[in-house]
Amino acid sequence: MIKDQEYLKSKASYCLDLAKKLGATDASVTIGNSISETVNFRNKVLDESNRSDSLAMGIETYVGKKKSSISSSNLSEENLKILIEKCYETTKITPEDEFNSLPDKELLAKNIKDLNLYDQSHIENDKKIDYLKELEEAASIDKKIINTESSFTEDKSNFILANSDGFCNGYKSSSFTASCVAVAKYENNMERDYEFTSKCHLNDIFNPSELGKIAAEQTIKKLNPKKIGSDKLSIIFDKRISKGFLSAFAGAISASSIARGTSFLKDKLDQQVFSNEINVIDKPDLIKGMGSRSFDSEGVKTDTLKLVSNGILNDYLIDTYNGKKLNLKSNGRSGGSTNLYFENGNINYDDMLKSHSKILYVTETIGHGTNLVTGDYSVGANGFLIENGEFKYPVNEITIAGNLNEMFKNIILANDLEFKYSINSPTMMIDGMTVAGK
Amino acid sequence: MSNFFDKSDLTRKDVDEIVSNTLKNCDDGELYFEDSKSESIVLDDNKIKSSNYSSDLGFGFRAISDEVVAYSHSNEISKDSLKNSAKSLQSTLKSIKGTYNHEIPKTNNKFYDAINPIEQKTLDGKLEVLNNVNEYLRKKNSAVKQVTATFSGEQKSIEIIRSGGESLTDVRPLIRFNVSVMLEKNGRKETGVYGIGGRQSYDDYLKNDNWKNVCEEALRIASVNLDSKPAPAGEMKVVLGPGWPAILIHEAIGHGLEGDFNRKKTSAFHDLMGQKVASEGVTIVDDGTIDKRRGSLTIDDEGTPTERTVLIENGILKNFMQDRLNARLMNTRSTGSGRRESYKHIVLPRMRNTMMLSGKNTQDEMIKSVDKGIFAVSFGGGQVDITSGKFVFNCTEAYEINNGKIGSPIKGATLIGDGPSILKEVSMVGNDMMMDPGIGTCGKAGQGVPVGVAQPSILIDKMTVGGTKL
């Protein structure tokens, strides 16, 4: 069983009291517990079971404008005492920083909405095994599938965030995740692909045979890829890739990158950064949302932000420290975006496929080729070549490159948005990128 | 040696009993205790941005029968907690039986000292270096607009307790010192990053004002990039410089030679043992025994002493890297490659220091032989798809080569290739093998472990460069 709020609160107040008693002027503490149980299957038999029970604390102590932090997994009072003393001593000799402070009191979350993020259902390992058996049966119907690996994880967690200004809140959350990775072989070529489902509530996850079937189909489709020639092409990004551009966007508009001057979107507030059909929303109070939260990692309330409307950048993702540096108020985004998404575009998926005579459809990218300082983008990719709206053959061992400044302005979105992850995008098309191949 | 449970209600006798009882019908397994202390101190934007200390104590209990691994970990060290874990393992393995395999080879070697680097330099001393770095760089060049400098250090003590009470211990220091600098000139911004580290004290790396050399290198890379032009796109010849570019070897070859992917036959290399997978003259080893290197280990995380494993000898595939589980299932021995990020993670076969050994050619010869291509000196990071064998890495410092001469610097670009065939495209191997500066972290299945790489300059006849210029 995960620790209840009372236990976590008592540990949190012990830490805060001790820090204050030692001489800290302010302090903020997080105590969290999470229990995770995973079962892994491979080729229709049990491969691994894994149970994890983690308890952790982190505290920041302030002495005026001086600050330092410690974290530990050992919550015995004896150990906490040693560590908090160490933290306080370190704080005293750390240089002052005028922007260090707890969040403004009036910004702290007061009404905590129930976002239905916790499902108390417990699924025993034997039931997880049944699920995975059915999943892998469905995944291995085709003889071309030579290996399947699947996994089921149940996570439960609870936490308390407390600070010396009287904020003390936390809540339980849960997630149920199943995934399947398949390997297909035809002659000398092997390919791998995957599908997964992850939800706060057990009843909302995919049915196992559906999941296995999708993973297998996607893998088989990739067999016998060709390398294409270098060219300027229109590229369609599958939903599992298009959301990555929103992650890059979120990184570039974080107050920390803006304050440090290391973002290609610095000084772009109130300017056109996307084409004028594009709207970007960050919605923290989505019921059962994978990124939902009632307050950020400092306790600041979170409201829905319309980050981009008609292509114009309206706001950054702001935490207390970097907000003060930029002379802006925190908007509750310490720890980043919540449920971030592009609103739907106007074109449907099928029309998008037919919009050019030759299109590269990207289903996977590899490498870390996004430079948020310059906006330069270059990654390895694979996917499919589409001619006149039809999938012709799989493509791999190519790279795609461009610059996010221009790419953002060329984004066209389909109208097929779904809330599968915490960051979500419809299918996306970008014209005029460079494909390097043969 | 710290005793991991002396402040709990557990005695060594209790622990031995629980371990032996739980593992008696299994093929393998152990109880792993870990006590880690780590710090990170960051200077950023002219200020000490954060000073963070962390201490973590916990255990991971593993039982293996045939191919099935049961694992349970917790950071609550108590009789109840250990018994709960034991129960969880037994419930997974309830209908399975094995023969416990006891043998762990012994070693008297030590490849680093049991120091705690965090305690060996005062906080004031660390703050002084960070402030010096900031001042030095900003004074040196007015285009410097941002400086980030970081100390990270840790000491990790582990004990492995096996059935029958056998105990194996190790104390592992690790540090890294890193400088990142951003320049801005005529509206253009570029960054340069450089770092050093390994399994010694901070001052072993920083003596003689060595921090200045780290600053200079970061500044040099950023300055080169300020003048870079768009990279070419398409297939061409690539000369790789010595040292850190060996992450090509790590991604293209290394991961594909890890035991688990080959036992499961999901690696593009699984049926190539004994076959030619690289040009003649290419020899690659994975070595855990190099003194004080980032990827070195006295014993691995299963207690097996590490070794120098020959992976490819003169072009022929000789060995995979093995942990105990995969070695047993493939009828071979562990190569001391069983590693885990922490007690929260299961053991996987992993790389240590992966090195391509020197050949006969000079870098000059390589450059002169190229009509049109690129010369790649430094990389950010890489990634591989084990199954298809396709891998990428990102240049952070590269130049074009025209008619045998090094030309202008080019913008960061991703290079992509095919693991099983790339080493057959190596047409020259340099005589200038160099270790990386001690900064690598390898990710696999969500676990990061410190690794090293090394290589001489090499010439690759054909690779796809992912620039924007057609």
pLDDT digits (tens, 9 = 90+) for B6-63: 888 999 999 999 999 999 889 999 999 999 999 999 999 999 988 999 999 999 999 9
- Asked if B68 is an interface residue toward chain A (Cβ–Cβ < 8 A), one would say yes
Q: Residues with Cβ < 8 Å from B239, sequence gap 6 or more? A: B363, B366, B367, B370, B373, B374, B375, B376, B401, B457, B458, B459, B460
Taking an 8 Å cut-off on Cβ atoms, the answer to whether B53 and A260 are in contact is no
Amino acid B38: pLDDT: 96
- The average confidence (pLDDT) of chain A is 96
Q: Which chain A residues are closer than 8 Å to B393 by Cβ? A: 367
Is the CB of residue B35 less than 8 Å from the CB of residue B4? yes
Cα of A326 to nearest chain B Cα, Å: 13
Please say whether the beta carbons of A415 and A409 come within 8 A: no
Instruction: For B419, name the nearest residue in chain A, comparing CA atoms only.
Output: A397
Question: Is residue A27 pLDDT above 90, yes or no?
Answer: yes
Residue A346 has pLDDT above 90, yes or no: yes
What would the two tokens of residue A364 be?
A: 């996977």
Q: Measure the CA–CA gap between A243 and B370, rounded to whole angstroms.
A: 40
Q: Please name each of the domains of chain A with its CATH number.
A: 5-221 (3.30.2290.10), 225-438 (no CATH)
CA–CA distance, A244 with A211 (Å, rounded to integer): 22
Span between the terminal Cα atoms of chain B, in Å: 61
Q: Nearest 5 degrees, angle CA B341-CA B347-CA B348? A: 95
* Sequence-separated (6 or more) residues with CB below 8 Å from residue B122: none
pLDDT tops 90 at residue B382: no
Cβ <8 Å between A51 and B54: no
> Quick one: pLDDT at residue B1?
43
Asked if A89 has any chain B CB less than 8 Å from its own CB, the reply is no
Angle, CA of A218, A222 and A227, to the nearest 5°: 150
Q: What is the DSSP letter of B242?
A: S
Q: Are A378 and A371 in contact (CB under 8 A)?
A: no
For residue A97, the chain B residues in CB contact (below 8 A) are 47-49
ipTM of the complex: 0.88
> Which pLDDT does position B4 carry in this prediction?
87
Fold of B123-159+168-226: PmbA/TldD fold (3.30.2290)
Strand pairing class (A423-424; A340-342) = parallel
Q: How many CB atoms lie within 10 A of CB B110?
A: 12
Tell me which chain B residue has its CA closest to the CA of residue A263.
B189
Chain A / chain B CB contacts < 8 angstroms: 242
A42 to B392: CB separation less than 8 angstroms, yes or no = no
Q: What is the mean pLDDT of residues B78-82?
A: 93
Helix, strand counts (H, E) of chain B: 10, 22
Per-residue model confidence as pLDDT tens digits over A77-114: 989 999 999 999 999 999 999 999 999 999 999 989 99
| A window 140-159, beta carbon within 8 A of B | 146-147, 149
- Of B444, B17, B53, B5, the C-alpha closest to B254 is B444
Residues 91-130 of B with CB under 8 A from A: 91-92, 123-124, 127
By the CB < 8 Å criterion, does B271 face chain A? no
The pair of structure tokens assigned to A101 is 């402070």
Do the chains contact at A434 and B145, CB–CB below 8 Å?
no
Taking CB atoms and an 8 Å cutoff, what residues of chain B touch A52?
Answer: 72-74, 344
Kindly state the tokens that stand for A296: 């950020």
Chain B: nearest CA to A46, how far in angstroms?
6
Under DSSP, the state recorded for B387 is: T
- Model confidence pLDDT, tens digit, residues A247-305: 999 999 999 999 999 999 999 999 999 999 999 999 999 999 999 999 999 999 999 99
Residue A118 is given by DSSP the state -
State the nearest Cα–Cα gap between B54 and chain A, in angstroms.
5
| Chain A residues close to B146, C-beta within 8 Å | 260-262
Task: Write out chain A residues lying below 8 Å of B184, CB-based.
Answer: 261
Q: Are strands B447-455 and B353-356 parallel, antiparallel or unpaired?
A: parallel
Q: Does B346 touch chain A (CB under 8 A)?
A: yes
Pick the closest to residue B33 from B69, B68, B85, B70 (CA basis): B85
Cα–Cα distance for residue pair B406/B368, rounded to 1 Å: 9
Q: Domain residues of chain B, as ranges?
A: 123-159+168-226, 233-466
- Position A68 scores a pLDDT of 94
What tokens does B436 get?
A: 């990386």
Average pLDDT in the B251-259 region? 94
Which of B326, B388, B394 to substitute to test the interface with A, most A CBs within 10 Å?
B388
B3 band by pLDDT with thresholds 50, 70 and 90: confident
For A283, the token pair is: 């919605």
Q: Is B406 on the interface with A (CB under 8 A)?
A: no
pLDDT single digits (tens) B432-468: 999 999 999 999 999 999 999 999 999 999 999 999 9
Supply the DSSP symbol for B114.
Answer: -
Report yes or no: B234 at the A interface, CB cutoff 8 Å: yes
User: Cβ distance A350 to A429 under 8 Å?
Assistant: no
Least CB-CB distance to B412: which of A90, A191, A376? A376
Q: What proportion of chain B, given as a percentage, has pLDDT over 90?
A: 86
Q: What residue in A sits closest to B90 (Cα-Cα)?
A: A49
B positions 435-464 inside 8 Å of A (CB): 464
Q: Which of B146, B112, B149 is closest to B128 using CA atoms?
A: B149
Which chain A residue is nearest to residue B34, measuring alpha carbons? A73
A-chain residue closest to B411, CA distance: A376
Contact B47, B169 (CB under 8 A): no
Task: Decide: residue A226, CB within 10 A, 0-12 exposed, 13-18 middle, 19+ buried.
Answer: middle
C-alpha count within 13 angstroms, C-beta hemisphere, residue B428: 23
Contact B450, B213 (CB under 8 A): no
Q: What is the pTM of this model?
A: 0.92
Distance from CA of B108 to the nearest CA of A (A): 32
Tell me how far apart the alpha carbons of residues A98 and B44 are, in angstroms, rounded to a whole number: 14
Q: Does B21 touch chain A (CB under 8 A)?
A: no
Mutate to test the interface with A, among B93, B127, B390 (most CBs of A within 10 A): B390
Residue A136 reports pLDDT greater than 60: yes
Q: Kindly list the residues from chain B whose CB atom is less than 8 angstroms away from the CB atom of residue A86.
A: 53
Q: What is the pLDDT of residues B81-124, one digit of tens each?
A: 999 999 989 888 876 677 776 678 888 899 999 999 999 999 99
CB B286 within 8 A of CB B353: yes
Where is B422: in which H helix or E strand?
helix B419-422
Residues of chain B with C-beta less than 8 angstroms from the C-beta of A94:
48, 51, 123, 127
Residue A169 touches chain B, beta carbons under 8 Å: no
* Residue A87, SS3 per DSSP: helix
Q: What span, in angstroms and rounded, lies between the C-alpha atoms of A156 and A266?
A: 38
Q: What is the pLDDT of residue A318?
A: 98
State residue B78's pLDDT score.
92
Q: Please tell me if residue A94 touches chain B, with a CB cutoff of 8 Å.
A: yes
Would you state the pLDDT for residue B95? 67
Instruction: Give how far A404 is from chain B: nearest CA, Å.
Output: 13
What is the distance in angstroms between the Cα of A113 and the nearest Cα belonging to chain B? 32
Q: Which residue has the tokens 């006849």?
A: B461
Q: Which residues of A touch B50 (CB under 8 A)?
A: 67-69
Whether A369 contacts chain B with CB within 8 A: yes
Residues in chain B within 8 Å Cβ distance of A56: 75
> A164: distance to nearest CA of chain B, Å?
20
CB contact under 8 A, A87 and B468: no
B79 in contact with chain A, both atoms CB, cutoff 8 A: no
End-to-end Cα, chain A, rounded Å: 56
Contact (CB<8Å) A380/B76: no
Contacts of A360 in chain B (CB under 8 A): none
Q: Where are the beta strands (DSSP E) in B164-248?
A: 167-185, 188-198, 233-240
Distance in angstroms (rounded) separating the CA atoms of residues A159 and A4: 9
- pLDDT over 60 (residue B2): no
Q: Is A337 within 8 Å of chain B by CB?
A: no
